Chains A and B, each alone.
Chain A
Amino acid sequence: MDELSLKNTFKKAYHPKLLVLACAVLEREISKFQNGQVKFKFFDYGLHRTPENMSKALQVEIDQASEEDYDGIILGYGLCSNGIVGIHSQKKRLIIPRIHDCISLFLGSPESYHEQAKQHPGTYYLTPGWIEKGETPISKFNSYAQSYDEETARWVLHEEMKNYTRILLINTGVCEIEPYQKIARQNAEFLDISYQEVHGSRGLFRALVNGPWEKDFLIIERGHSIQQEMFLDL
């Protein structure tokens, strides 16, 4: 039995040495599961906008880590607009949640994400992490208004946001939520759309770092690469 299988069997007794490469937007939640044997490395949250750069940045790190004594490499990413497609390791196993993007992680399962999206396709999701990174409609507007005149900034924001009908703040319980509630509400008012809150879960984060890696995870064997089909239910 190799070490990763051992880990699944004796999960309370044994912690393999793992490297976690994750998006910075997950830092608050995922860091809670430090067990002394895990090394975290966080990447710029903006990589999801340029999927080609995401895979390049992660591959460099994976190749470097191949020479070290990690038992496996965990990717704190979803399919993320194909940003992780093609990633591979000749020497280490890769573990990745089988999810489209980080919203499933914050909500605790792909099913809860699907349920939210089904009921309100026009949902703009916010978490404390996303708010801190400035990924809110108001922050976007302010940044557009710095580069362009106010009328243009308004037009761009309208074009970008016109189909959203709700802001949903996900509270994963990692910090005081009040300041983020205030900002999320202000954003809903700014767009004149509804505002709701939901309690997230840290269950998927916990499983990502500590296992067991069951139905919501993909284990990519050495020499294999991550493919888009692995994430799709066709």
Chain B
Amino acid sequence: MESISQLLHFFPLIIVTIGSLVVMMVDAFSKDTAKLYYLSVFFLIAALAASISDVFGPAGEAFYGMAVYGGTSAMGGVIVLLGTLFVVLLCKEYLTAIKHHVGEVYSLILFCTVGMLVLVTANDLVTLFLGVETMSIALYVLAGLIKRDKAGAEAALKYFLLGAFATGFFLYGIALLYGAAGSTQLTAIAEVTDGGLIYWGGLAMLLVGIFFKISAVPFHMWTPDVYQGAPTLITAYMATASKAAVIVALIILLGRAFPDIHSDWAEVFQVIAVLTMILGNVIALVQDNMKRMLAYSSIAHVGYIMVGLVAGTAAGYSGVMYYLFAYTIMNVGAFGVVAYYERQKGLDFTNMENYGGLGYKQPMFGVAMSIFMFSLAGIPPFAGFIGKYQVFAAAVYEGYIGLVLVGVITSVIGVYYYIRVLVYLYMREPESDTVFQQPGMVYKTAILVLAIMTIYFGIQPGALSEIFTQGFEQLQIMAATGR
């Protein structure tokens, strides 16, 4: 009965699992979709509280080494749940406005969150694989939510076909690593340092699968299409929570299974990071569609995050965690504002041309959007700046000056397209006199809270980044003692 007591360490996962099943069952017997919304919010808040308390709890392995808890995993859980919670909070109004407020959305989001929470605790390639797949399968469907719309169904198809393709590579990587190590446990793989070709081949294939999920160049092809076709808040969910989950899983994978060959994979990561930063930022410059622009910007952000992974130190990983946290808050906020504009009738409000003068129509949303854009651009004193600073500082400390130089230059290029949004918001004349619907109370509050958090964690990063550093050190101690 050892495993029952181990369940205590996985409260967030259990709460969300039960929540997803409850929401699914209530959906089957009740016509009232609003009820599902409140239920989901309730379960997510409970899970978030549990996972915050886990951050300060013990760390270790559980379930015969299938999963780890505490430390980095718990913080990954916090980031994922925070992103999910805000997406769900904003979802109700947005989905009602686009006439797709169906109960299945909530259960699918919760199923997807289960996958993400499994992912951030994965300590075995089997768990990693199943977490990724649970998350992806729910996301394929969510991406095609507006299936009447050609773009929506196509986004789902594209995401699905390319996702299935990437799964093949991912699984092949697992198979080869299993052949090399004779086990799928991360700690067992760490003991193999020179497994020959099969080991390197396995690592390469596994990373191809993961790079696809975080849309690193050159495996990013699906990102702009899927992000544009999916409902805006689902896009926010895909861009923040799912990426955060996979990157946390990647940190655990690299930190526990491949710590000794850091110098080898860091070289590959450097090349990918440079490509990702350059391509993401340069193509974002020419986008006129808000969602496509944010899609390319999210590709660019993955590039910055990879700079932190290249550093491979506790400072680098904690910088990545901070980056993910900041990125989740500000990106959910930015997509939230886009989703609000989008549901106004008459014009296509994902096209940037139509953003003229919107900043004055809804002052609060204009200001919030400015904060999110400045933060995404990495301008102080917002959270995005601190994340970028920590990531770059860790890489400089390890001597990756050239890489950081590319990062800084591309960030400067990036400032252009973020500021361009603000130019439209404040300095262009409005195209037409569209009357704006007022946003609901919850929607307004959620955006406001996100904006305040973006400022607060930009000014007061200290405590949070200390927690992130400690979390990774716990993971390292675990790896060292072989627990």
A and B physically associate: no
B-to-A contact residues, CB < 8 Å: none
A-to-B contact residues, CB < 8 Å: none
